[in-house]
Structure 1
Amino acid sequence: MAFNQTVTAPSHKMRRCLLMAFALIALALTALPTASFAGTDTAGNVLATEADSDTSSAEGDLYWAGQSLNLDDASIGRDIIAAGESLSIRDCTVGGAIRLAARTIDISKTAIDGSVTVAGQHVVLNTGSTANCFYAIGETVALRGSTKSAALAGDTVTIDGTVKGDVEVWADKLILGKNAHITGTVNAHVSEDPERAAGAEVGALKIDRTENEDTSTVNDVIGGIVAAALSTCFVALLLELIFPRATASAAGMLHQRSMPLWVSGLLGTIAIVPAVLLLIISIAGLSLAGTLLCGVIGIALMSSAFAGCAIARMVGHNQNRYAMAAVGGVIAGALTGLPLVGDFISGVAFVFMLGYIIQIIWRNARVKPQQAANTPGLPSA
């Protein structure tokens, strides 16, 4: 996995959204059933939950989901793929890669032949651990082990280990500890000068100063709001042109049956993460998981325009539908572009559109069986 060194630093907003998503994964997993669904397939892959006690070895991959994983002195033939609230891997050997998502992640005294890709709130590749490469995102990220390359993103990133190659860092604060030994170049996209201990050894240090969110000018904020309003207006007009019945139906549902719509959308939003994880863990459901994720992304991209169009049609039902779609799109886009509250409004729009889709699916599923039951049978001979 190669990283282009000319890539611009991700915004704080993007990092926080990613961290919120992975925190949601960890919290959602606490609601999974405690009953064990462990098993070993014919390829030697092990599927386990927190209720399973013996995950000490696997010839193939180890798939794990639960609240707290403490993997000690284990031998895994290929990959570890796990998600939970707290993940600890110590004194292990891993023949493949490690993929983890959790609130806290600690990998210590572990030899990994492949890469380590992790996301969480507090992440550390600890002393005594070796990996081919280390990719991590979190609030605090620490590299104290040894790796050939690294790409690290977080509010605070600490490098106090060995990197036999280049390092990419996106952070507010970068700390180079006294045990840091980096043979390549550290490309640091940071908002303040790095802290470098006296014993730190770095081949080269390139600093790209990034601005904090609070240094954005009023013109930048206004420009972002205008761009969001215009783009959302365009999408709303397209939706009204292509799917006029859907926008009209959503407006009517919001007016007449708003409670089922919002409840369905909220429950569906909560269920997305555990549903995707369960499909991924089942292995056979990977294609379904991909399809579900594509659907979720599509809803997220169109939800603001759809919600604005539907609400505008409900308010101005006697007016020109294209004019109302344009007005609704502009207002929805401007609201989502506002600082602080924009993300919340986008989330509300997502819940609205998802709830409408769930209600339409539920309504069609109920109507068809009832129609079949009411169909008169043929006269018997």
Structure 2
Amino acid sequence: MPCNLAPSSRRRKARGRITLLFALIVLALTVLPTASFAGTDTAGNVLTTDEGSTPSGVEGDLYWAGQSLNLDDTSIGRDIIAAGETLSIRDCTVGGAVRLAARTIDIAKTTIDGSVTVAGQHVVLNADSTASCFYAIGETVALRGSTKSAVLAGDTVTIDGTVDGDVEVWADKLILGKNACITGTVSAHVSQDPERAEGARVGALKIDRTENENTSTVNDTIGGIVAAALSTCLIALLLELVFPRATASAAGMLHQRPTPLWVSGLLGTIAIVPTVLLLIISIAGLSLAGTLMCAVIGIALVSTAFAGCAIARMVGHNQNRYAMAAVGGVAAGVLTGLPLIGDFISGVAFVFTLGYVIQIIWRNAHLKPQQPANTPGLPTA
């Protein structure tokens, strides 16, 4: 995690990533085809969404996506990459790394030659499981197996296994169980003193007491809101300078035809995850998947400023466009900087901007040759 962020800020960002992860998982599971499929390529890699079958052995990598995966007594030659709601791996051997994203993750009695990188709500590396290193983020994270190093982040982190090296923890609560055996240093960034059971062995314990999120100073919150407002205002002014027709068109579209704008934005947001997954599945679609992800990231970066600028232009259509862009940028930045509702406002702005882009692409694709574009105009005074 970035070293220039306060621990409380790191924890807030970690929880935000978990929330976003769950949203993406839900969208993917909702839109993925109900029919299962499975296939093996010439390199021995297996790609499957079939929950009813468990491969007895995979020569290469295992790629899986779906609702519930129960991998039992299986040998995987290289990596496991999986996403779903519940992932259970038991009595397996993995020759490479494990990359998982799910609500519940349980790894038990499994030998993993490479690293384990997981994100979920409840994450457990159970006893009799080994890995070279364990990186986990979740609401509750438990390390009961053995590893050479670990980086753990969550509300409650439990270490009740063996770590032949150092451990770094970001948590509200750290529990060192009676079976904990850590040869290196535990660097704990926690909001309360760790609970250490009798029998827990730790080479060294460094505690960095952090303030609880609920005790964050008002000045920090105000400073974040001001920074968000100024940066969004600057981006809004740049958009108005470089793309004045786009902001005017979005304002007119929002005024005259808001329903197609919002519906296409929502459908496009839902379709992003399964589209990227399906493109990745197809080797020929890897470049398209990369291009799509770059486009989505670009839209996300400017969506708040673009939405604020367009709405401000619609409201103050008779005013100076740069002044309205600045006002809209400041207002959007303030809203996205507010606690609790900031992420929701950012999501709404993304849906709005994506909907506008989809509507423009759709309209241009259906224009007849030499037919002038019918760009929605702003309301007249």
What is the identity percentage for the equivalent residue pairs of Structure 1 and Structure 2? 80
- Whole-angstrom CA distance in 1 between matches of 2:127 and 2:44: 30
Matches within 5 A, 1:55-204: 55-204=55-204
RMSD of equivalent CA atoms: 1.8
Deviation digits for residues 199-255 of structure 1, max 9, x if unmatched?
111111111112222112222222222111111111100000011111011001001
Name 2:37's counterpart in structure 1: 37
Judged with a 3 Å threshold, the aligned counterparts in structure 2 of structure 1 residues 371 and 345 are, in CA distance, closer, same or farther, namely same
User: Following TM superposition, by how much is the alpha carbon of 1:334 offset from its aligned partner in structure 2, in angstroms?
Assistant: 1.1
Letter of the structure 2 residue corresponding to residue 371 of structure 1 = P
SS of the equivalent of 2:186 reads strand
Name 2:376's counterpart in structure 1: none
SS of the equivalent of 1:252 reads helix
Judged with a 3 Å threshold, the aligned counterparts in structure 2 of structure 1 residues 311 and 186 are, in CA distance, closer, same or farther, namely same
SS of the equivalent of 1:261 reads helix
Name 1:18's counterpart in structure 2: 17
Letter of the structure 2 residue corresponding to residue 228 of structure 1 = A
Q: Contact (CA 8 Å) 2:105, 2:123: kept in 1 or not?
A: yes
Of 173-182 and 9-18, more deviation after overlay is shown by 9-18
Q: Contact (CA 8 Å) 1:62, 1:81: kept in 2 or not?
A: yes
Matches within 5 A, 1:293-308: 293-308=293-308
Judged with a 3 Å threshold, the aligned counterparts in structure 2 of structure 1 residues 114 and 257 are, in CA distance, closer, same or farther, namely same
Of 241-250 and 218-227, more deviation after overlay is shown by 218-227
SS of the equivalent of 1:285 reads helix
Judged with a 3 Å threshold, the aligned counterparts in structure 2 of structure 1 residues 284 and 189 are, in CA distance, closer, same or farther, namely farther
Letter of the structure 1 residue corresponding to residue 130 of structure 2 = T
Name 2:47's counterpart in structure 1: 47
User: Following TM superposition, by how much is the alpha carbon of 1:175 offset from its aligned partner in structure 2, in angstroms?
Assistant: 0.6
Letter of the structure 2 residue corresponding to residue 313 of structure 1 = R
Deviation digits for residues 246-274 of structure 1, max 9, x if unmatched?
10110010011101101111111122222
Letter of the structure 1 residue corresponding to residue 162 of structure 2 = T
- Whole-angstrom CA distance in 2 between matches of 1:54 and 1:215: 48
User: Following TM superposition, by how much is the alpha carbon of 1:285 offset from its aligned partner in structure 2, in angstroms?
Assistant: 3.2
Deviation digits for residues 136-174 of structure 1, max 9, x if unmatched?
111101000010011111111110000000111111111
Q: Contact (CA 8 Å) 2:51, 2:69: kept in 1 or not?
A: no
User: Following TM superposition, by how much is the alpha carbon of 1:36 offset from its aligned partner in structure 2, in angstroms?
Assistant: 2.8
Matches within 5 A, 1:261-272: 261-272=261-272
- Whole-angstrom CA distance in 1 between matches of 2:142 and 2:89: 15
Structure 1 length as normaliser, TM-score? 0.93
Name 1:219's counterpart in structure 2: 219
Q: Contact (CA 8 Å) 2:57, 2:74: kept in 1 or not?
A: yes
User: Following TM superposition, by how much is the alpha carbon of 1:129 offset from its aligned partner in structure 2, in angstroms?
Assistant: 0.5
Judged with a 3 Å threshold, the aligned counterparts in structure 2 of structure 1 residues 326 and 8 are, in CA distance, closer, same or farther, namely closer
- Whole-angstrom CA distance in 2 between matches of 1:224 and 1:8: 13
Name 2:369's counterpart in structure 1: 371
- Whole-angstrom CA distance in 1 between matches of 2:335 and 2:278: 35
Name 1:251's counterpart in structure 2: 251
Q: Contact (CA 8 Å) 2:11, 2:170: kept in 1 or not?
A: no
Q: Contact (CA 8 Å) 2:134, 2:149: kept in 1 or not?
A: yes
Q: Contact (CA 8 Å) 2:49, 2:64: kept in 1 or not?
A: yes
User: Following TM superposition, by how much is the alpha carbon of 1:13 offset from its aligned partner in structure 2, in angstroms?
Assistant: 2.5
- Whole-angstrom CA distance in 2 between matches of 1:89 and 1:181: 24
Q: Does 1:279 align with 2:279?
A: yes
- Whole-angstrom CA distance in 1 between matches of 2:324 and 2:2: 44
SS of the equivalent of 2:345 reads helix
Deviation digits for residues 57-81 of structure 1, max 9, x if unmatched?
1100001111000000000000001
- Whole-angstrom CA distance in 1 between matches of 2:59 and 2:36: 20
User: Following TM superposition, by how much is the alpha carbon of 1:341 offset from its aligned partner in structure 2, in angstroms?
Assistant: 1.5
Letter of the structure 2 residue corresponding to residue 331 of structure 1 = A
Name 1:378's counterpart in structure 2: none
Judged with a 3 Å threshold, the aligned counterparts in structure 2 of structure 1 residues 98 and 5 are, in CA distance, closer, same or farther, namely same
- Whole-angstrom CA distance in 1 between matches of 2:130 and 2:284: 32
Q: Contact (CA 8 Å) 1:78, 1:95: kept in 2 or not?
A: yes
User: Following TM superposition, by how much is the alpha carbon of 1:6 offset from its aligned partner in structure 2, in angstroms?
Assistant: 8.2
Q: Contact (CA 8 Å) 1:24, 1:273: kept in 2 or not?
A: no
User: Following TM superposition, by how much is the alpha carbon of 1:26 offset from its aligned partner in structure 2, in angstroms?
Assistant: 2.9
Judged with a 3 Å threshold, the aligned counterparts in structure 2 of structure 1 residues 24 and 341 are, in CA distance, closer, same or farther, namely closer
Q: Contact (CA 8 Å) 1:128, 1:146: kept in 2 or not?
A: yes
- Whole-angstrom CA distance in 2 between matches of 1:94 and 1:141: 21
Judged with a 3 Å threshold, the aligned counterparts in structure 2 of structure 1 residues 283 and 120 are, in CA distance, closer, same or farther, namely farther
- Whole-angstrom CA distance in 1 between matches of 2:343 and 2:51: 37
- Whole-angstrom CA distance in 1 between matches of 2:279 and 2:174: 37
Q: Contact (CA 8 Å) 2:76, 2:93: kept in 1 or not?
A: yes
- Whole-angstrom CA distance in 2 between matches of 1:281 and 1:207: 44
- Whole-angstrom CA distance in 2 between matches of 1:187 and 1:68: 34
Letter of the structure 2 residue corresponding to residue 23 of structure 1 = F
User: Following TM superposition, by how much is the alpha carbon of 1:348 offset from its aligned partner in structure 2, in angstroms?
Assistant: 0.9
